[in-house]
Structure 1
C-alpha cells in the first residue's frame, strides 16, 4: 500500500505540512509514501503532471531509506490510498486514470469517490438516519423554489453537493422558513456568490434539526467503524460515551464504500443523526487524533 499526499508547493519533493505527520506515521508503519501535485490535479488536463512523482508499479523506487533526506518522490506503486485536499469528482476520476496508466490503483475508484463525496450519492441509503433533504441540478431560482416546495415550509440548512457555508450561518446557510421564498432565495444567492467556482452540482436543502452537542467524526474502512473522534471544527470536544451507531452501521456497510467518514450529532430528543458522509481520503483529521493510530485504522483490513 502506498499513501499519496499533496506535495509542499515550495518544496515539491516533500509532503505538504498539513499531511506531513500522516506521511511520517505511514512510513513508520511500513507503507510507501509518494507526493502528488494538487495544483496540477485541479487544473485542466493536469492529472499526468500531478502524478509524475509516483513511480510506476514494479519499477525501482529509488527510495533513500525511510525518512533519509526527507524525500518522498518516486515511491513504488501498486495499491494506493490518497490523503489530501478535496478534489471534484471529475478531477478525482482523471487522477485515478493517470495512476492506472502507471499501474497504480486507488483503493477508492472514481465511482465510489463520487458516491461518497457528493450528497446525492449517499442520501437515499441513509435517509432514515439523516435530515430530510431535497436538491437541484444547477443553480437557477426556479429549480431552487421547486426543491424548497418539495421539502415544505419550516427552517432549513443550505449547502451544495459537497459543502456548506456554515461559517456564514445567517447569511448563506440557515433559512428560517422556506415559506418565505424571497428571503430563502436571498440566502441561496449569497451562498452561490461565496462558493463561486467551487459550487458543485446544485443547491441542497436539508431540514433543520435541533442538535445539542458538537459533531462527532467517525472513520469507516470497508464498511466497519475503525475510529471515533472529535470533529475537526471542535477538536477538543471529545465524543460522548453514549454514541450509538447501531442504526447507522448496517446502512453505511450496505453502501460498499472502502473508506468514508460519517459525521453525527445528537438531536434534542436523544437520537443520533447523520450530518454528513464524506470520502475519507479528503476528510480532515482532527488534531486530537494522533496520526499513528489513524494510519493504523486506515490500513487495517
Structure 2
C-alpha cells in the first residue's frame, strides 16, 4: 500500500501535495492509507500518526523526516503489523550523505565532514579538504538559495571567511541542522540537474529536477552499476554535467521523501 500525509484541515483526505500520487496509486490497484505528518514529526507522536494504517506492506511518499523520526515511524508501523519497504537503516543511509559517500566517491565531488557544529572540527575539515572553493551543507541539506552567504566558500584556506559562511548556515538551519558540517569540493557544472529514480537497483525514471521542472538535459549517465549496487530499495540520484563533459552525482536521496517535479505525471512515478 501507499502511505501519504493527510490534509491538516481535512484529515480523511490526502495532503494536496500528494493527492495526485494517491489517485494514481489507486488507479494502479494499490491501497492508500493516511498518516498524520505533524504527529510523525513530533517526538513520541508516531503511534498516533499511524493509528489508521491497516496491516500490510507499504511504501511512503511524504514530507521529509529526520532519520530518528523515520525510525520511530518504522517501529510504530511494525507494532501494527505494517512493514515499510525501506527500513530505518536504509533510510538513514540514503538520506544522510555520510551513509552513501564512500560507495559513490568516484562519481561525486570530494567531500569531508564533521560530527557536530564546533568551530575546531570545522577548521580541521577545511584543512583536510585543502585550499580552494567548496560548497557547504549538513548531512541532509544545503542552503543553496542563500548561495553567497551560507553555501559557497570561495577558499577554505581562509578559515575566518569560511567560518562566517558556516555560522550563517547554522543560523538559517537552526534546529534542523543535521549531523555536522559537510564540505564538498566546488566543481563547475554547465547543465541543469537531472533527477533519476531507482527501485531495487534499477533506474526506472530519468526526469528533470524539481527546481527546473521544464528543463531536462539530454543525459546518458552511465552510472547504473554504482547507484544500482547500493542495495537500497527506493532512491533518487541527482546529476549535473561538469564543464569537462562528465556527469557527476550531486545528491542521493531516499525516494520516499524526494519531491516529484510537477512536469512528471504522478502515474509515472515508480513505486513498485
Confirm or deny: 8 A CA contact 1:133 1:207 kept in the other structure.
yes
The answer to whether structure 1 residue 166 and structure 2 residue 166 are counterparts is no
**Counterpart of 1:282 in 2: which secondary structure?**
coil
1:254 Cα deviation from its structure 2 partner: 1.7
Unaligned runs of 5+ in 1: 58-77
- What is aligned with 2:242? 267
Instruction: Report the counterpart of residue 204 of structure 1 in structure 2.
Output: 182
Any runs of at least 4 consecutive aligned residues in structure 1 with deviations exceeding 3 A, and if so which?
none
Asked if 1:298 corresponds to 2:271, the answer is yes
Alignment of 1:186 with 2:161, yes or no, is: no
* 1:142 pairs with 2:120: yes
TM-score by length of 1: 0.90
Q: Give the structure 2 partner of residue 7 of structure 1.
A: 6
C-alpha separation in 2, matches of 1:293 and 1:116: 22
C-alpha distance in 2, partners of 1:218/1:268? Answer: 20
- Report if the CA contact (8 A) 1:119-1:277 is conserved: yes
Q: Does 2:85 match 1:112?
A: no
Equivalent residue runs for 1:219-258 within 5 Å? 219-240=197-218, 243-246=219-222, 248-258=223-233
Q: Is the Cα contact below 8 Å between 1:228 and 1:239 reproduced in 2?
A: no
1:81-160 aligned at under 5 Å gives the runs 81-160=59-138
8 A contact 2:59–2:271 mirrored in 1: no
Deviation at 1:244? 2.5
Unaligned runs of 5+ in 2: none
For the residue of structure 2 that corresponds to 1:298, the secondary structure is: coil
Distance 2:43 2:4 in 1: 20
- Matches for 1:283-294 after TM superposition, within 5 Å: 283-294=258-269
CA–CA separation in structure 2 for the residues paired with 1:245 and 1:279: 19
**1:298, 1:5 → 2: CA distance?**
13
Q: How far did 1:252 drift? A: 1.2
The structure that has the greater radius of gyration is 1
- Alignment partner, residue 36 of structure 2: 37
1:105-152 deviation digits (Å, cap 9, x = unpaired): 000000000000000000000000000000000000000011111000
Output the TM-score relative to the length of structure 2: 0.99
Cα root mean square deviation, aligned: 0.6
Alignment partner for residue 191 of structure 2, among 213, 217, 221? 213
Instruction: Show the 5 A alignment for 1:56-75.
Output: 57=55
Contact 2:3-2:34 at 8 Å conserved across structures: yes
